[in-house]
Chain A
Amino acid sequence: MPNHTQGLEIRSVVKRFGDLRLFDDLSVAIAPGEFFIILGPSGCGKTTLLRLIAGLETVDGGEIRLNGRPIHDLPAGDRGVAMVFQDFALYPHMTVERNLAFGLRNMQVPATEIDTRIKATAGALAIDGLLARKPATLSGGQKQRVALARALVKKPDLLLLDEPLSSLDPGLRLHTRRELAQLSRSLNATFVMVTHDQVEAMTLASRIMVMHEHRIQQVGTPLEIFTRPANLFVARFVGATPMNVLDGTIAKARNGKADFDLSGHKVHTAITHTSLPAGEGWQVGLRAEHVAITAPSATAIPATVDYVERLGEQSWIHVRLADGREIVANETGISPHQPGDAVGLTLDGARAHLFDAEGRGYHAEPA
């Protein structure tokens, strides 16, 4: 049965390298106009997936469809996709104009149309002044725009971006991130971007797909990924510091929610106890901003300050529980605490996550 779904559809894709099954039955669908980000640590297979979509690698099974058209057997140049490479891969011996024109000429676009398209794209990306220059004379940010222009001038159905910000210096990265966001909104094109930087993913994406060890961990909006991490990996990978994860046992509280026992201290979660499977090996997850540091008291969990990172607008305070486990707390402003201080911890149980022995995450129902 023909499928006329718009956007990009990856269905049961298999990729092998020798005996290694890199992807086994990997599926995901991306809607038109999305800014879809594949997020994961290096070596998780995210770049390989991007290259499979681009046609720079071939699939060993399954199919890839773009706007309903199967593209997985087509050569890279015939798929209607364009790509921005990590180090831009501009042709160093060609002027910017020739860089943009090269693909169009290979597609037999008439010369007059090549001219119009280059002018329009260069105008949109504010690189009109650079057309006669060679890439070696451009700054990092200019190269980035040219790489984008080279991809967009082909009017692709899908734009792939492979870590496009990683070769820029930090200041420029912030600026370019904003431009990318504006660009995707104004173009209404479909973007698929690969990054290992969770801040990029959180700020740019309409949806994020988290990958780890060649498997999809979770697909969702940035908010979903952050507030309802599907598993421990996602919980630890997304966020400015890894989520605090501590083990203990759960019990049913009087209100039907689950209580987490953290070496004698109860954490009252907002997660319905009956939604949890039976079993041992539970862990509680709490982000640093949901751990508050107070003066030692009978109700607070006693802890000792280990190490304080003061960033100016906020501070990270690493504290140690009596049993030696470490927890990171977040405070706005410059924390007054010093290493060795005895403090109390108050945990915001309503924001806590639970993870079962397999690492699967359970969350409170959204209010």
Chain B
Amino acid sequence: MTAVALPGVRGRQLWAWVRIAFCAVMLALVLAPLLWTVFLSFRTNIDLLRQAPLDLHGPYTLDNYAELLRNQTLFRWFFNSLVVSTATVAGVLTLSSLAGYAFGRLEFPGRNWLYLIVLAGLAIPDQSVILTRHQIFSDLHWHNTYRALILPGLSAPLGVFLMTEAFRAIPRAQDDAARLDRANSLATFWHVLLPQTVPALASLGIYTFLLSWNDYWWPLISATRPAMYTLTEGMAAAQSNYVEVLGKGVLMAEAVVAGLPVLIVYILFQKHIVSAVTGMVKL
């Protein structure tokens, strides 16, 4: 008995070691770039311009972060991102929950066809509609406005899909009970069903926030005046001319400051983000 079991045990131990080694290597690869950036952000610019290897003992400095505080544009970009992302989240949640209620819960002529058309939109990449979308906003003279930065984010169908699923998951008897309680379809939506989709709304909201905050493509095309840059777009401008303007250390500090808010949002709401990204696979 023991003789037969041995190879299996040895095999299992081998796999355990392979697993541990793999995890260790991956963890190092994942964290090293992040730690390196943080490390650089605490070094002086002069130190960073030398070609010599960096001395781990220092000198360390907070000058780069102090410099950031003097930098008004960074705050402006941060503010723009906050406005755009918050408005996008509000818009997506409103439109998606209304549409999700209609598609997931109500009957109307053409419902299934319309839903299919909406789902097909999941396959349309932003890049293939960019030229005409740019023209729409040019014709309206809306470029370099908040509404131009916000509106395209509201046309994404993912939220409708997630909310339709969420509304479908609620037992049908809830609608029946509401009808007997004399609630019309708006009251049923607002008082009975919508409060039951709060977990889905939270996932969608946080996911949308990150997506909007991190969007580079559309702001790059629509917001051409630095005062209208989002933080993400601003970080692109910063890295292409950092040497002339502020120096590498400040750029690193900017990266840390720009990265931290999303990392904090991520750490706080990890569960919601994961459930949003895995939710779209159910398609």
Residues of A whose CB lies within 8 Å of any CB of B are 51, 54-56, 75-78, 81-83, 85-87, 89-94, 102-103, 106-107, 150, 154
Contacts and interface: CB of A to CB of B under 8 A. Distances in A.
A77 B173 contact: no
Interface stretch (B146-154, B180-188, B242-250): B180-188
Given A51-B176, A56-B179, A91-B174, 15 more contacts: A55-B179, A56-B176, A76-B176, A77-B180, A77-B181, A83-B177, A83-B180, A85-B176, A85-B177, A87-B173, A89-B177, A102-B178, A102-B191, A103-B182, A106-B182
A52 to B, nearest CB: 13
B192 interface: yes
How many of chain B's residues touch chain A, expressed as a range? 10 to 19
Contacts of B174: 89, 91
Contacts of B145: none
Contacts of B177: 83, 85, 89-91, 150
A91 B192 contact: yes
Contacts, number: 60
B171 interface: yes
Interface of B: 171, 173-174, 176-183, 187, 191-192, 195-196, 198
B196 A103 contact: no
B180 A92 contact: no
A91 B170 CA distance: 11
A77 B179 contact: yes
Contacts of A106: 181-183, 187
B179 to A, nearest CB: 4
A86 B183 contact: no
Contacts of A91: 174, 177, 192
B176 A77 contact: no
Main secondary structure, interface of B, reads helix
B217 to A, nearest CB: 38
Contact of B179 (A76, A90, A150): A76
Nearest to A98: B191
Nearest to B183: A106
Given A78-B182, A106-B181, A93 B176 contact: no
A204 to B, nearest CB: 22
A91 B191 CA distance: 9
B181 A103 contact: yes
24 contacts: A54-B176, A56-B176, A56-B179, A75-B179, A76-B176, A76-B179, A76-B182, A77-B181, A77-B183, A81-B180, A83-B177, A85-B173, A85-B177, A86-B173, A87-B173, A89-B171, A91-B174, A93-B198, A94-B195, A102-B183, A103-B181, A103-B182, A106-B182, A106-B183
A286 B183 CA distance: 52
Nearest to A93: B195
Nearest to A151: B180
A5 to B, nearest CB: 24
The 8 nearest A-B residue pairs measured at CB: A77-B182, A103-B181, A89-B173, A106-B182, A93-B195, A76-B179, A89-B177, A85-B173
A92 B173 CA distance: 12
Contacts of A82: 180
Contacts of A77: 179-183
Contact of A76 (B173, B180, B196): B180
Q: Which of B177, B180, B182 has its CB near the most chain A CB atoms (within 10 A)?
A: B180
A183 B191 CA distance: 30
Contacts of A93: 195-196, 198
A94 B187 CA distance: 14
Nearest to A83: B180
A347 B177 CA distance: 51
Nearest to B187: A106
Given A92-B196, A93-B195, A106-B187, A87 B182 contact: no
A83 B173 CA distance: 11
B21 to A, nearest CB: 45
Contact of B181 (A56, A87, A102): A102
A83 B177 CA distance: 8
Given A92-B196, A102-B191, A106-B187, A83 B182 contact: no
Given A87-B173, A91-B174, A54 B180 contact: yes
Contacts of B171: 87, 89
A262 to B, nearest CB: 49
Given A92-B196, A93-B195, A102-B191, A107 B182 contact: yes
A17 to B, nearest CB: 14
A76 B174 CA distance: 14
A82 B196 CA distance: 23
A189 to B, nearest CB: 16
Nearest to B176: A56
A55 B175 CA distance: 12
Nearest to B172: A89
Contacts of A150: 177
